[in-house]
A and B are shown apart, each in its own frame.
Chain A
Amino acid sequence: MKRRQNLFTFFCYILICTFLSNFQGLSYGQENDEKDVPREQQPVQDRKVGDSLVENLAELPGKLITAPFYFTIELLKLLHVQKIYLRTTDLLTSEDGTRTLRPIFSPGGGGGATFRQRNLLHPGMTFRAHASFANKTRRLVYGDLRDPGLFTKKWGLHLRGFNWRKPTERFYGIGNDAKEEDRTDYLDDETSFEGTILFSPSKETSFGLGFAYSDVAIEDGRDNGQPNLDSLFTPLEVPGFFGEKMWTVTLKFYSDSRNEAGHPRRGAEQYVAMQLSKDRDLGYFKFIVDLRRYFNLFYRRVLAVRVRTEITDDLGNREVPFYRLPGLGGEDLLKGYQSYRFQDDDLAYVSAEYRVPLSPMVNLTLFVEEGRVFQNMLDDFTFSDWHYSYGGGLRFRASNGGLITSFIIAKSDEDTRILFGLNTEIRGF
């Protein structure tokens, strides 16, 4: 009985459909005012060119689904979003374009502003000042003066002073086997002044000699879900437990032969630095080598290789403060791990990244990286117990070669992390 009813209903549907599709008045788009005269023989202005009712109905699902999208476009037009943005920028920019003020909004609910003055005393000399504040008393205030042509074009000066307050820094203990469950957090309140004299014998290379004074205060972290530093560790286990004032001298060398900055296809980037940092109780010597090389494999498929090592030595009976120890994890080294997941005196890190252009503006990136921290790498170096991370993502390229956005998913044996960078490198390459 039920089956018969269904058949009857189906039959009725077919009848209705047939009726509708042949009903002259309903599918008006396919018919003509002049009976039986094909559209091609009617004056164009008299032709009815709309779609039939059925075709309009068939378009309905798509129209409904895209309605919010079109509503947004209309709203954007109505609000003149682009013009409001441009006018605001215009208001905050000097007539000659050398002085700008930019508001900053951070996803974490913070905000601030950056002031920039170009061509301060002479062309190329730039001063920047920045202040931003966010939740949990997070803050960053800095002033930065760059002069690439101090005496001649080969000499430059970089002066910087900043104060940051990072309320949820992580510390898992010292050593390559630090456990995830030992995670603690602390507040790092640091004020620093730096001055660097730069010498650039060529466009690709530069040497720098820098002097810095920093005052670091370590307090209880503000992440309520995590134990504080002092709940798991003691000052004897962790040098620099309360922070310290320190002087630092840095000698550095930088060489950049990449063909472009945002998406290099060939060339290399080399950074070598020696750092001497000292105070009453703490002091260390640090040697950093960071080498990146870009190989154009074939038709713009790029292999990027990176090697980094950091070796830190105590100065006499002084120790290295824990917040200055080399660390793995975060957006730079071993992206699949949380920041500062592994810290110790020495560090070794290698990575390889394969990049494929998907379109002129989008690149696919796949990477694998390995790293390990050592108490004394030169004596105890081993290939066992290295931590690895891998992943991939997309890099969006501006027409001038600069990087607009990166979106990367990184995986390790502990974590899967999604990293998103806007107008910045997700550090690494």
Chain B
Amino acid sequence: MQCSRILLAFSLLIVMATGCSSHKEYVRRPLITEEEDNKTVPKPKERDIELYEDGLENVAGRPVRDFFNLAAHYRKLTNNYKQAKNVNAMQEVPNSTWFTNRHGMTRMTIEELQQGPNRGTGPATEGIWTVVGAKVEGVSPGFTIKDIRGDVYFLKFDLKGYPQLNTAPEVITTKFVYALGYNTPENYLSVLDPKRLQLGEGVTYKNKYLRDVPMKEEDIQLALEKAHQTPEGTYRVVASKRLSGTPVGPFKYSGTRGDDGNDHVPHSHRREMRGYKIVAAWLNNVDSKANNTLDMYVEEDGKRFVKHYILDFATSLGAGGNGPASAARGAHGAADFGNMIFRALTLGLYVEPYEKKLGSKFSPSVGYFDSELYNPGNFAFIIPNPAFVRATELDAFWGAKLVMSFTDEDIRAIVETGEYTNKSDEDHVVQTLIGRRDKTGRYWFKKINPLDNFRLDPATNSKVAIAFDDLAVKYGFAIAEQTTYRYTLRHHGKVLSDYAYSRDQSQVSFNVKMSHAIARALTNANDPSGRDRIFSFRIETQRGQSGYKKYVDVYFYLPIPGSETPELVALERQN
């Protein structure tokens, strides 16, 4: 009896602590556009994250912990998920050592997109490349070389029999991910002539037992035997330029790094990390784990801090680690126990769509990469990524906006940098990315009211009119003529007006009744901070005959007439 009472009280406590949502009172202040996490901090200790450590934590540890988390279950039941904790008042991500707003905020030119993170021309095409390190063991070999300019690159190859399969995705995905705002290495396509390769002095490599052993010429030959050789006897490589600064090990997609004084927000609660789920799914990059990231201790503008990079995209698009990707990619994770139990109980009689595609023919340069099976809402990664697991529909909407920022021309321009030999391969990758992009947008723009890019329209004679882009209409997923926006005016959380309607026009403004209501609301306005002069429009959207969907609250500051101009203050989206 006593136990049940305590349990009941505890449950109530959780309900109240997690379920109480209060109205937010915004103040008028500049939008946060910089996170300022680049203050000088001491160099963190270099660390390794073992694959088994990351895998066990995310496959077994965290799911069990979450299962027994009553608050998380209550949040799920009430659709009151923990939202990203680093967004600004307009629900965007400020620039930081993790992310820089690029193409998603301000369109990059085709040249900039094709250039990506590259700031040079790649390794010197003349002179000797001296091998200063190597990865000889494993399926895919790699060398670290120094060119005659003294620049150091890590060379990655295509697997034997699969020209361009790994090198093209590495370059293409790098450019997409960079354009979206993430930090990536400079990856160049280059050609390795074995005659120009020279073994440096005292070079060692780690053998499969992790022992440093002296490298011999035969080791180079042995490694090259696994790589795809062109008829001319050369090798197409991706030369990944050594990042500036000192490597201090990978970052995790959860928690914070205790020895990095700038790391305040748990990584699984960073919107750019959560939203990367949508980007990675679009690019078929299933291997988004801690080991494919790197923290670098850098010095920029006289400040020393940690910068966070995402790397290793050689297994994105249609490429796999041991050869081409299969149709099963993205369908289920390595430990999807629910699906395994379902399949066992149904004795395998249910055939999943991807199974019907296994064994399909594909180009050896592309691998299996399609948009038909792609399910943007249910894309599975090999190992569950804690930030992706925490991603809410708002995070996904943000990620989808980034993905949709690429036009068909942008996509083709970037894919061209992968330099596929066959035009048909290039076309296939372009069309697939376009198809997957549209599926991504279509899916996530239905989940959230896709009104975005809010701006005050000055052409409305002392009245406030707020214009916006309806992303579903903008990208052709909905018809403007069949769309109606319903909105109310609010002040301090109270509704001031009846519904007003705006049909096939991406704009909301005051009507006469609203103006009267504003006048009444401002009668007692006396807060010197101007808080009393902040109003909001709650906008809902209807497509055709369907009901009104989730709302967007747009907060704006309404100045004393003639003194200042109105301005947007904040944005809230219903999850």
Question: Which A residues lie at the B interface, using CB under 8 A?
Answer: 6, 9-10, 13-14, 16-18, 20-22, 27, 36-45, 47, 49, 52, 54-55, 57-59, 61-63, 65-66, 69-70, 73, 76-77, 82-83, 86-87, 89-90, 93, 298-301, 354, 356-362, 364, 366, 399
Contacts and interface: CB of A to CB of B under 8 A. Distances in A.
B65 A359 contact: no
Interface stretch (B23-31, B431-439, B466-474, B536-544): B23-31
Given A44-B94, A69-B61, A21 B13 contact: yes
B265 A89 contact: no
Contacts of B358: 299-300
Interface stretch (B48-56, B150-158, B163-171, B443-451): B48-56
B87 interface: yes
Nearest to A41: B89
B332 A359 contact: yes
A399 B382 CA distance: 14
Contacts of B67: 62
Contacts of B344: 356, 358, 364
B356 interface: yes
Interface stretch (B32-40, B103-111, B175-183, B415-423): B32-40
Contacts of A298: 351
Given A20-B13, A58-B71, A87 B210 contact: yes
A43 B211 contact: no
15 contacts: A6-B5, A13-B8, A14-B9, A27-B17, A36-B27, A40-B32, A40-B91, A47-B86, A47-B264, A47-B265, A49-B269, A59-B71, A61-B68, A73-B61, A358-B339
B264 A86 contact: no
Contacts of A40: 32, 87-89, 91, 570
B39 to A, nearest CB: 8
Contacts of A70: 57, 61
B66 interface: yes
Top 10 closest A-B pairs, CB basis?
A356-B348, A90-B209, A62-B68, A58-B71, A21-B16, A54-B17, A62-B65, A13-B9, A358-B340, A299-B355
A21 B69 contact: no
A49 B265 contact: yes
A299 B351 contact: yes
Given A44-B36, A73-B53, A73-B57, 8 more contacts: A38-B89, A41-B570, A44-B32, A62-B65, A87-B211, A298-B351, A358-B343, A364-B343
B101 interface: no
Contacts, number: 176
B347 to A, nearest CB: 6
B318 to A, nearest CB: 17
Contacts of A362: 340
Contact of B17 (A16, A55, A83): A55
A82 B70 contact: no
Nearest to B9: A13
A77 B53 contact: yes
B66 A77 contact: no
Contact of B60 (A16, A39, A43, A69): A69
A58 B73 CA distance: 10
Contacts of B530: none
Interface of B: 5, 8-10, 12-14, 16-18, 20, 24-27, 29, 32, 35-37, 50, 52-53, 56-57, 60-61, 64-72, 85-89, 91, 94, 96, 207-211, 262, 264-266, 269, 322, 328, 332, 334, 336, 339-340, 343-344, 347-348, 351, 355-356, 358, 570
A69 B88 contact: no
Given A40-B570, A66-B65, A361 B340 contact: no
A65 B210 contact: no
B36 A43 contact: yes
B36 A45 contact: yes
A49 B25 contact: no
A45 B64 contact: no
A416 to B, nearest CB: 19
Contacts of A57: 10, 13
B52 A82 contact: yes
B504 to A, nearest CB: 31
A47 B265 CA distance: 8
A49 B17 contact: no
Interface centre among A22, A44, A359, by most chain B C-beta atoms within 10 angstroms, is: A44
Contacts of A65: 64-65, 68
Nearest to A59: B69
B41 to A, nearest CB: 12
A59 B61 CA distance: 13
A62 B69 contact: yes
Contacts of B356: 299
A58 B69 contact: yes
A344 to B, nearest CB: 36
A41 B28 CA distance: 9
A318 B395 CA distance: 82
Contacts of B85: 39, 47, 49
B181 to A, nearest CB: 16
Contact of A359 (B13, B16, B340): B340
A41 B9 CA distance: 34
B26 A359 contact: no
A13 B12 contact: yes
Nearest to B213: A95
Contact of B16 (A17, A37, A44, A66): A17
Given A47-B264, A299-B355, A399-B322, A54 B36 contact: no
B539 to A, nearest CB: 19
A108 B228 CA distance: 48
Nearest to A27: B17
A14 B70 CA distance: 18
A358 B350 CA distance: 11
Contacts of A39: 85
Interface centre among A14, A41, A76, A82, by most chain B C-beta atoms within 10 angstroms, is: A41
Nearest to B36: A45
A21 B36 contact: no
A90 B137 CA distance: 14
A54 B17 CA distance: 7
A66 B61 contact: yes
Interface centre among A58, A300, A362, by most chain B C-beta atoms within 10 angstroms, is: A58
B13 A54 contact: yes
B209 A86 contact: yes
